[in-house]
Structure 1
């Protein structure tokens, strides 16, 4: 009896020919699989998955920065078993499914081609992009393929001029349709960096694949790749974000993602220009600049008015304390922002600090319907007495202070608490 074994990762059918879309093979083994890296809550029902090992496969297991393929296995009785992911266990590719498949079963493997071609466009695009940056002595430290946008991490932030220059060069190389091939280290003959090969990949038993883009680039890589730079179609470099150690992440998209991203952004611009700005798309920048200018002016006017109101309120309280026997007053704002109360406090600071026998002011804000709570500040000789009274009337008031000051927060007002507080504080105004 002949024992069937699986093809090792490095020599899989998908790695020998990344354009195969369907493939006949047989099942070597099938067993229940538990993803040890996936954290599952104890109360959640256990999701049973199975790992199916095939004699060979056109479904690529994740690796080299490239996500796994998806596809299906069609059994002789036409039953279809969906492959939700493909993982690498050392040198073995495991197809993760929702159902087991009997070893020895002949199956037809079908590839989710739309996903594969997209992944290849991004992956080969990254190789090409990194190769161009190498000519600027900017090494790619790492890279990540996202659902929509990818990035490479560079050792430093790159000027906008260099980014534009690289963008143009990359798209020129795409247009030139440079051949891409996979060779062995012996066929390549030059020095190579093997530092990025996973530690659990047995180099003595495995196969090292060198992906070459013409004479421009040669790098060890286990992923599936295009056969020509023209198949990348196009690339767009988007923006940079500074990260740890002075490094920079440069975001990019390739292939069909370029026109999809452009279409999405264009629809967004149409929505913003037509619905929100009432202008043509080409007028959006000017319209936003005008709105921003008007907003700043309005904000400045609001700040000045708020200061005037705060000064008037402080003056009212100061005059009342000075000309009457009143010892307590309060300022209330329904809005949760503390800005107005802080302005009033600043205006009253001189009064409170210079005259220890002056009145006491309670500053508070927030409302019941919003459920957002508010803040409380008490300034003056009776701060200690008043804070005790307020805490007895407002359940969620937390805070502290000493001497002539108290500051606290109200997580939320309970129903009727504000009315009770107003009734209490109004007794000091009568």
Structure 2
């Protein structure tokens, strides 16, 4: 299957052929721009259109190497030509949140050395988990200000598929070496110029200038050396 979002995150409409339909509700296509839930980023929603009828895509996930588009009960069949249309407002919002998450995570790591242990995007907020003994409100406001400074500078972002051995020369990716099985020959690398460089399969904007300013509005202690912060876009 061709995963169109890996090279161009801005594709929101595409043509495809139905390869199979599982249990009358999960559609497998030969190519897709729908993002399947992974890495803390929610799945895309939208529609598959065929012969003048639209089938709402309510969830998208990967299973057994295939991307499953859940459309409920459908009349689609193997070989049907369809046009996929993504809910762009949702996708673009998550793209901006994902890039903002990379910026904030990089700043926290560069400032404190803390390892980022997880993140979860949503349409109204995003959380970042990291290892740190303690933090205070002044620290959080300093992180927030630095993220917004990067946003104001309209820093470019690039996406490249790198040979695994070349990718493993990047310090931030070396620590993930064991996460890539031997059959993975190429690794997708997201670079925010001068800010961050890491392996990531998610969708992102091409410039930090597309992101609204953020505000860190909540902080939690989640156990020993485990901290969680939430941020959202300012209205």
In the alignment, is the contact (CA less than 8 A) between 1:91 and 1:206 conserved in 2? Answer: no
1:36-92 CA-to-partner distances (Å, cap 9, x unmatched) read xxxxxxxxxxxxx611111111101011110000011110x2111111111011432
Query: Any conservation in 2 of the 1:52–1:100 contact (CA below 8 Å)?
Result: no
Identify the residue that residue 129 of structure 1 maps to in structure 2. Answer: 104
| Pair 59,122 (structure 1): closer, same or farther in 2 beyond 3 Å | same
What is the distance in 2 between the residues matched to 1:65 and 1:181? 20
The alpha-carbon distance between structure 1 residues 210 and 28, as it changes in their structure 2 partners (threshold 3 A), is same
User: Are 1:194 and 2:176 an aligned pair?
Assistant: yes
1:166 corresponding residue in structure 2: 143
Structure 1 residue aligned with 2:18 = 27
> Does 2:47 match 1:72?
yes
Determine if contact 2:93/2:123 at 8 Å carries over to the other structure.
no
Q: Which residue of 2 aligns with 1:143?
A: 119
Q: CA deviation at 1:207?
A: 4.3
Distance 1:58 1:140, change over 3 A: same
> Number of residues paired by the alignment?
227
Normalising by structure 2, we get a TM-score of: 0.89
Unmatched 5+ residue regions in structure 1?
Answer: 1-5, 33-48, 260-430
CA spacing shift, 1:117–1:242, aligned 2, 3 Å = same
Aligned residue in 1 for 2:31: 56
CA distance in 2, matches of 1:67, 1:80: 22
Taking structure 1 as the reference length, the TM-score comes to 0.50
Cα deviation for residue 111 of structure 1 reads 0.5
Map residues 1-400 of structure 1 onto 2, 5 A cutoff: 6-7=1-2, 12-32=3-23, 50-75=25-50, 77-98=51-72, 99-136=74-111, 137-156=113-132, 157-186=134-163, 189-191=169-171, 192=173, 193-194=175-176, 197=179, 204-205=183-184, 207-254=186-233, 258-259=234-235
Shift of 1:165: 1.3
Q: Deviations over 1:379-409 (max 9, x none)?
A: xxxxxxxxxxxxxxxxxxxxxxxxxxxxxxx
89-98 vs 23-32, greater mean Cα deviation: 89-98
Maintained 8 Å contact 1:13/1:57: yes
Which structure's CA Rg is the greater one?
1
Q: CA RMSD in A?
A: 2.0
8 Å CA contact retained: 2:116, 2:131: yes
- Give every structure 1 segment of 4 or more consecutive aligned residues whose post-TM-superposition deviation is greater than 6 Å: none
Question: For structure 1, which segment, 178-187 or 60-69, has the greater mean C-alpha deviation from structure 2 after superposition?
Answer: 178-187
Q: Which runs of 5+ in 2 are unaligned?
A: none
- 1:215 deviates by 2.5
- C-alpha deviation, 1:214, in angstroms: 0.8
2: CA distance, partners of 1:147 / 1:20: 19
Q: Distance in 1 between matches of 2:75 and 2:206?
A: 35
Shift, 1:147, TM fit = 4.5
- Taking the aligned partners of 1:160 and 1:62, their CA distance within structure 2 comes to 32
Distance 1:142 1:13 in 2: 25
- Are the counterparts in 2 of residues 50 and 100 from structure 1 also a CA contact under 8 Å? no
Distance 2:148 2:137 in 1: 17
The structural deviation recorded for 1:174 is 0.5
Separation in structure 1 between the aligned mates of residue 184 and residue 41 of structure 2, nearest angstrom: 22
Distance 1:208 1:176, change over 3 A: same
Comparing both structures, which one devotes a greater share of its residues to strand? 2
